[in-house]
Amino acid sequence: MGADMWGYPETSGHVPGTRLIGYSVEATDGSIGKIDEHTEDVGRSYVVVDTGPWILGRRVLLPAGLVGRVDTEHRTVHVSCTKAEVKESPPFEAGQHADDTASLRLIEHYYANRHM
């Protein structure tokens, strides 16, 4: 992923200003929940997914670089990771990561090195 991990890929179909809250999120192998919040900050864009009962209501932060496709017609965001990768991702606590550089680096490291 590298330097563009925190930006929406040009090929994703994401249109700046689109409100993604409430969109369903699909990993490469199935549904993982709904978007609870998202940002479009330059160099630090991400989506926060509420996983619901799937992993006991856990919320996960996914860097925008994982967004493979935004389907506005079906209100679905497809991400380029598996359910297992999401389940094993670093914890996210509401409000903790907005300015928590260490936590953001941990998430970045996790997703950048998941294929090793």
| 95-to-19, 30, 41, 78 alpha-carbon distances in Å | 19, 27, 16, 24
| pLDDT score recorded for residue 115 | 60
- Asked if 49 and 64 touch (Cβ cutoff 8 Å), the reply is no
| pLDDT score recorded for residue 3 | 53
pTM of structure: 0.89
CA 1/CA 72 separation, integer angstroms: 24
For the chain, give every domain's residue range.
Answer: 2-112
Q: What is the 3-state secondary structure (H, E, C) of 21-58?
A: CCCEEEECCEEEEEEEEECCCCCCCEEEEECHHHHCCC
Residues of the chain with pLDDT under 50: 1-2, 116
- Asked if 66 and 83 touch (Cβ cutoff 8 Å), the reply is no
Pick the CATH number of 2-112 from 1.10.40.50, 3.40.50.1820, 2.30.30.90, 2.30.30.240: 2.30.30.240
